Amino acid sequence: MTSFISLSALFSPQGIWLLLLILLLFWIVYVYNSLVVLNKRVDEAWSDIEVQLKRRHDLIPNLVETVKAYAKHERELFEKVARLRSEAVAARSFSERGQAENALSGALKTVFAVAEGYPDLKASQNFQELQIELADTEDKLQAARRFYNSCVRDLNISIEVFPKNLLARLLNIRAREFFEVIDQEERRPIQVKLH
């Protein structure tokens, strides 16, 4: 008889409202947790990019010194690379960091282009090792950027869809920026010319 009374109380108007309130609370907890996970995943992905950028920044002075030993008259280029590296390290905002890193990538391409003109340099074991390390770092950086951008996409979609956007607004979870190539020159496909 007691179970019948509790079952009928559950289907009473007060019981239905209580059940709906409990379901709403579970939904809010679920959405909150999913937004926190996505937000932390974006932070983690950005941290992965930071690690690769630090590795890259640490390799650049060694590369410049190695190339400097062979290409003494390229002083202007070395100063530009050093300045761009300093700007990239000092960049604070997300957009500043993206612009600085893209400019630094362009300068590194120039360093490798200059190195092409020095056969002794290209044959140097130190230069070859640095070139391999930088290529490996660039590959890891590209993978980290792709992972970061996919995490940002997931978070941005999640906080823009209804009704999650209401809770995201209450929690002050904002859309994040993608890590994109800003320099239009870098967006162009590389043209390979065979002689």
**Is residue 48 in some structural domain?**
yes
Q: What's 177's DSSP letter? A: -
d(CA 156, CA 120): 50
Q: Is the predicted pLDDT of residue 184 greater than 90, yes or no?
A: no
List C-alpha distances in Å: 177 to 3, 19, 97, 195: 55, 39, 12, 42
**Is residue 130 in some structural domain?**
yes
**Is residue 95 in some structural domain?**
yes
Task: Show the domain range for 44.
Answer: 35-184
**What confidence tens digit (pLDDT) does each residue in 36-93 have?**
999 999 999 999 999 999 999 998 888 888 887 877 777 788 888 889 889 988 888 8
Given a contact cutoff of 8 angstroms between Cβ atoms, the answer to whether 107 and 81 are in contact is yes
How many domains is the chain built from?
Answer: 1
Domain of 44: which CATH number? Answer: 1.20.1440.20
Q: Of 176, 83, 117, whose CA–CA distance to 168 is shortest?
A: 176
Q: Of 158, 179, 181, whose CA–CA distance to 169 is shortest?
A: 158
**Is residue 166 in some structural domain?**
yes
pLDDT bucket at 130, cuts 50 / 70 / 90? confident
Q: What's 163's DSSP letter? A: T
Q: Of 97, 108, 120, 16, whose CA–CA distance to 61 is shortest?
A: 108
**Is residue 189 in some structural domain?**
no
pLDDT bucket at 181, cuts 50 / 70 / 90? low
Residue 171, SS3 per DSSP: coil
**Is residue 171 in some structural domain?**
yes
**What confidence tens digit (pLDDT) does each residue in 134-159 have?**
889 989 999 999 999 999 999 999 99
Q: What token pair was written down for 92? A: 């604070």
**Is residue 57 in some structural domain?**
yes
**Is residue 101 in some structural domain?**
yes
Cα-to-chain-centroid distance, residue 118: 35
